[in-house]
């Protein structure tokens, strides 16, 4: 459990390892049927024989499992449950606890705790020889996969009540989902699940995982449905696919942005990372999408097109002349991006404040998806005009300083190369960078990120970016192996001080990029998370320095 103060000074208690739904009460109870207890409380109290009938109708444990999903069981299967949970610490009386095997521990270790807290049923991959107490035990082959199936049933298939769009790829998921939400927002409300927040229709809450656990996702989709959302856009991370967090989800469209190096701490190789992403398009997540929207400027995208099964409609996008939806006459500058978007049905002149060539790709992805789903191109065009950008993605900080200052979420070598390459081309003065590498993440990307920064920046400050439980010195040592120009680099552990020194160095005409944390409002250490927001810090420091001078 991690406690921290948000920038607004509200105490937020983040159970990073537990379902956000439990923590933030994101998951609604499934819409109640008239159970005997409810019926007795209601003014239209039922006669006893009606109550008996309703009791028979109340959902039971067995209603959430198909016979062939159960390998063996002990105890009654016809008992009602009060909710589903995957963390023993969150169990309340009447719950069904899923004991999931994990990378660090095994949920099976916490079965006794779950039962002590009142769990009435346990799903596990190994049945205990002597089942303790009166709880029902259900043995299944893959508890994580079963969790998704049960969650989907428990929340009554909310994905089938709305148009669901899943966006995957190494970079651009957040940008494309926010763009899509903006484009599709009209008569019908649009829900969103992703890195920055979860928009549930009636309320928006900060996010704790890009793609949350299946129990959270289905719970959130149920809330969106109840709030009147008929569409939802969702970032689908490779962890999410691999851990069956979206198993069984009916995607109306699946979007592929790109694939570059990341997360090789988790995936064995780039090929395996790609194979995992591919599952979203081939039906290996349980259901084939109706539409696949794929970036063919990326060689992995062209490969993906070949893997999409027949029956899934494919719409390709990119700068490539063979793309179904393509960009022509691209013009890039620091203020806006313009291009002509061409597809078989016509052409649109795009003018967007999103800067950088990669944003042409993001804009194509979003517009191609909206067109592919049959939305009116003229409405798309008019909505695009009012899209101002995504928090912490090339976000400009204007505090009266005589140089450009930007905060961006680039945290891979590819993203850094793109972001810095773009800024290099439009910066008359020097390009200064503050950046770090995340702890407990892909160690091998660290030297590559350093190399990318050294290639483009005139001067860089290497600092902390969520060291988590790794010693910062170890992260720095990994980064050091990528240093090519030590004279253009300073190591500063404290991120605020690194930003301060970079601001001291900046002169008119220069550009400062603070990369890696984007919208994040915290800095995560081994056992504490402190409030930290790059945007706020840059603004504050500029104001302080202006006052002093």
Ligand X SMILES: Nc1ncnc2c1ncn2[C@@H]1O[C@H](COP(=O)(O)OP(=O)(O)OP(=O)(O)O)[C@@H](O)[C@H]1O
Ligand Y SMILES: N[C@H](CCC[C@H](N)C(=O)O)C(=O)O
- Where on the chain is the footprint of ligand Y (CB under 6 A)? 210, 411, 438, 441, 465-466, 516-517, 520
Question: According to CB under 6 A, which one of 102, 118, 283, 389 is a site residue for ligand UAG?
Answer: 102
Q: How far, in Å, are 30, 31, 55, 82, 362 from residue 50 at the CA level?
A: 22, 20, 9, 22, 56
Write down the number of H helices and E strands in the chain: 17, 26
Question: Is 158 annotated as belonging to a binding site?
Answer: no
Residue 59: how many other CB atoms lie within 10 Å = 15
423: part of which helix (H) or strand (E)? Answer: helix 413-426
Maximum CA extent, the chain? 85
**Which lies closer to Mg ion via its Cβ, residue 152 or residue 232?**
232
Touching ligand X, residues 72-111 (CB under 6 A): none
Cα separation, 46 vs 131, in Å, equals 38
| Token pair belonging to 41 | 């409380």
d(CA 239, CA 223): 24
Q: Are 114 and 122 in contact (CB under 8 A)?
A: yes
Interface with ligand X, residue 238, by CB under 6 A = no
Q: Is 105 annotated as a binding residue?
A: no
- Provide the 10 A C-beta neighbour count for residue 306: 6
From the CB of 21, what's the least distance to ligand UAG, in Å? 12
What distance in Å separates the CA atoms of residue 271 and residue 273, rounded to the nearest whole number?
A: 5
Q: What is the DSSP string of 483-538?
A: -S-GGGEEE-S-HHHHHHHHHHH--TT-EEEEES-TT--EEEBSS-EEE--HHHHH
Question: Is 465 part of any known ligand binding site?
Answer: yes
Q: Which residue is nearest to ligand Y (CB)?
A: 438
Looking at beta carbons only, is 482 or 516 nearer to ligand Y? 516
Sign of CA dihedral 362, 368, 371, 373: negative
Which of 73, 125, 244, 258: binder of ligand X (CB under 6 A)? 258
Contact with Mg ion (CB under 5 A) among 174, 232, 412, 463: 174
Question: Of the candidates 3, 7, 13, 16, which one interacts with ligand UAG according to CB under 6 A?
Answer: 16
Question: Which of ligand UAG, ligand Y, Mg ion, none lies near 87, with the C-beta cut-off 5 to 8 A by kind?
Answer: ligand UAG
- Annotated ligand binding at 446? The verdict is no
User: Quick one: 237 or 463, whose CB is closer to ligand X?
Assistant: 237
Residues 467-526 interacting with ligand X (rule: CB under 6 A): 518
For 486-489, the CB contacts below 8 A with 24+ separation are: 488/454, 488/457, 488/458, 488/459, 488/460, 489/454, 489/459, 489/460, 489/461, 489/462
Q: How far apart are CA 430 and CA 345, in angstroms?
A: 44
Which residue, 257 or 361, is less far from ligand UAG as judged by CB? 257
Binders of Mg ion among 354-393, rule CB under 5 A?
A: none
Residues 6+ apart with CB under 8 A from 424: 431, 456
Task: From residue 42, give the alpha-carbon distance in Å to each of 36, 59, 60, 102.
Answer: 10, 19, 22, 44
The minimum distance between CB 446 and ligand UAG, in angstroms, equals 16
Minimum distance, C-beta of residue 170 to ligand Y, in the bound complex (Å):
10
Per the annotation, does 468 bind a ligand? yes
Size of the site for Mg ion (CB under 5 A): 5
The answer on whether 258 is annotated among ligand-binding residues is no
- Spatial contact of 225 and 162, defined as CB atoms under 8 Å apart: yes
Binding status of residue 173 toward ligand X by CB under 6 A: yes
Among 24, 100, 296, 450, binds ligand UAG (CB under 6 A): 100
- Answer yes or no: is 197 a known binding residue: no
**Considering CB distances under 5 to 8 angstroms, the limit depending on partner class, which of ligand UAG, Mg ion, ligand Y, none binds residue 517?**
ligand Y
Count CB neighbours of 305 within 10 A: 15
- The reply to whether 409 sits near ligand X by the rule CB under 6 A is yes
Which among 155, 195, 191 has a CA at the least distance from the CA of 172? Answer: 195
Tell me if 361 contacts ligand X by CB under 6 A.
Answer: yes
Q: Annotation-wise, does 235 bind a ligand?
A: no
Q: Does 362 contact ligand X by CB under 6 A?
A: yes
Residues within the interface to ligand UAG (CB under 6 A):
16-18, 86-89, 100, 102-105, 107, 110, 209-211, 213, 237, 239-240, 266
Binding-site residues from annotation for meso-2,6-diaminopimelate: 441, 465-468, 516, 520
Residues within the interface to ligand X (CB under 6 A):
169, 171-175, 195, 210, 235, 257-258, 358, 361-362, 393, 408-410, 414-415, 418-419, 518
Residues within the interface to Mg ion (CB under 5 A):
173-174, 195, 210, 235
């Amino acid at each position: 459990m991690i406690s921290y103060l948000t920038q607004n000074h509200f105490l937020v208690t983040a159970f990073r390892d537990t379902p956000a739904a439990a923590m933030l009460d994101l998951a609604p109870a499934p819409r109640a049927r008239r159970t005997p207890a409810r019926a007795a409380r209601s003014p239209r109290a039922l006669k006893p024989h009606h109550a008996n009938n309703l009791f028979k109708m109340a959902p039971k444990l067995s209603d959430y499992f198909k016979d062939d999903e159960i390998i063996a069981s002990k105890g009654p299967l016809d008992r009602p449950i009060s909710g589903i949970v995957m963390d023993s610490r969150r169990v309340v009386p009447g719950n069904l606890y899923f004991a999931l095997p994990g990378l660090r521990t095994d949920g099976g270790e916490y079965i006794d705790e779950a039962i002590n807290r009142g769990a009435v049923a346990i799903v596990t991959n190994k049945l205990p020889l002597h089942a303790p107490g009166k709880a029902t035990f259900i043995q299944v082959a893959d508890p994580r996969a079963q969790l998704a199936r049960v969650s989907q049933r428990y929340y009554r298939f909310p994905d089938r009540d709305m148009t669901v769009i899943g966006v995957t790829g190494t970079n651009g998921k957040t940008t494309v989902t926010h763009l899509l939400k903006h484009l599709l927002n009209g008569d019908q409300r649009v829900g969103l699940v992703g890195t920055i927040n979860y928009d549930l229709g009636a309320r928006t809450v900060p996010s704790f995982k890009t793609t949350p656990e299946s129990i959270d996702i289905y719970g959130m989709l149920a809330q969106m449905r109840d709030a009147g959302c008929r569409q939802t856009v969702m970032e689908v991370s490779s962890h999410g696919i691999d851990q069956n967090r979206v198993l069984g989800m009916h995607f109306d469209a699946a979007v592929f942005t790109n694939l570059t190096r990341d997360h090789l701490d988790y995936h064995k190789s780039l090929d395996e990372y790609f194979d995992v992403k591919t599952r979203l398009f081939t039906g290996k997540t349980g259901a084939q999408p109706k539409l696949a929207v794929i970036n063919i400027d990326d060689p992995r995208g062209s490969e993906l097109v070949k893997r999409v099964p027949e029956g899934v409609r494919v719409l390709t996008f990119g700068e490539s002349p063979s793309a179904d939806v393509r960009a022509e006459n691209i013009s890039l500058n620091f203020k806006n991006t313009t291009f002509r978007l061409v597809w078989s049905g016509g052409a649109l002149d795009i003018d967007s404040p999103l800067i950088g060539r990669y944003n042409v790709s993001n804009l194509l992805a979003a517009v191609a998806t909206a067109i592919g789903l049959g939305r009116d191109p003229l409405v798309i065009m008019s909505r695009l005009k009012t899209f101002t950008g995504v928090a912490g993605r090339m976000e400009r900080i204007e505090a009266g300083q005589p140089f450009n200052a930007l905060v961006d979420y680039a945290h891979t070598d590819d993203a850094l190369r793109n972001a810095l390459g773009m800024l290099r081309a439009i910066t008359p003065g020097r390009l200064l960078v503050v950046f770090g590498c995340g702890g407990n993440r892909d160690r091998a990307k660290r030297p590559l990120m350093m190399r990318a920064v050294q290639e483009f920046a005139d001067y860089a400050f290497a600092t902390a970016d969520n060291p988590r439980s790794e010693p910062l010195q170890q992260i720095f040592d990994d980064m050091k192996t990528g240093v090519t120009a030590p004279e253009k680099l300073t190591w500063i552990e404290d991120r605020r001080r690194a930003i301060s020194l970079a601001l001291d160095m900046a002169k008119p005409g220069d550009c400062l990029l603070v990369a890696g944390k984007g919208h994040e409002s915290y800095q995560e250490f081994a056992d504490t998370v402190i409030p930290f927001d790059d945007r706020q810090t840059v603004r504050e420091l500029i104001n302080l320095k202006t006052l002093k001078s």
